[in-house]
Amino acid sequence: MTLTRRSVLRIGGGLLAGLHFGADPARAAEAIEIIMSGNEDGSRVWFEPIGLLVQPGQSVRWTNRDPGNSHTATAYHPDNGDHPLRIPAGASPWNSDYLLPESSFSVTLTVPGVYDYFCVPHEHAGMVGRIVVAGSSSPVAPRPGGIPEVAEKGFPRVAAILRNGRVDAR
């Protein structure tokens, strides 16, 4: 059943991506890629880059390049498993659900601010990421708390993202 469900989800993601590309090919073509990765024995998993600065309206696409694991890109939001809110108020939460190797998922971010997200099966391994959508006011890091310590420590600093545009995983 799990495999069937995942296959359906994968197809669903493809359809969504297709609709998105159809709606705005220029923007979709410019989607910024975040890779879901892992080492060979699966003891380390990460998003690359782990920190990213984008402009409002930018699309971001996660692709699972880890042959040994399924991963998710899931916004910290009460709608996603009752996690604390760590995206801007008024921004839409997202959840890719499980992405099999070589599968992708994309969102378009419009509301300025800081977006923290995680991988459902690897939050406790510290697999998290942070995206800053530029805006008029200076973005503030989400209030800490309510998530595993290893996840909390995993986020790059907002200042580093603003300074460098992207922060690579250590």
Interface with Cu ion by CB under 5 A: which residues? 45, 71, 119, 122, 127
User: What DSSP character marks residue 112?
Assistant: -
Rounded to whole angstroms, the Cα distance separating 41 from 39 reads: 6
For the CB of residue 81, give the shortest distance to Cu ion in the complex, in Å. 14
Q: Where are the beta strands (DSSP E) in the chain?
A: 32-38, 45-48, 51-54, 58-64, 74-75, 104-109, 113-118, 128-133, 166-167
* 46 or 115: CB nearest Cu ion: 46
Find the distance separating the first CA and the last CA of the chain, reported in whole Å. 37
* 77 or 113: CB nearest Cu ion: 77
Q: Select the residue whose beta carbon is closest to Cu ion and give its number.
A: 119
Residue 102 near residue 108 (C-beta atoms within 8 A): no
For the CB of residue 83, give the shortest distance to Cu ion in the complex, in Å. 15
* 91 or 119: CB nearest Cu ion: 119
For the CB of residue 160, give the shortest distance to Cu ion in the complex, in Å. 22
For the CB of residue 57, give the shortest distance to Cu ion in the complex, in Å. 27
Give the Cβ contact number of residue 5 at 10 Å: 11
> Pairing state of beta strands 113-118 and 128-133?
antiparallel
* 115 or 117: CB nearest Cu ion: 117
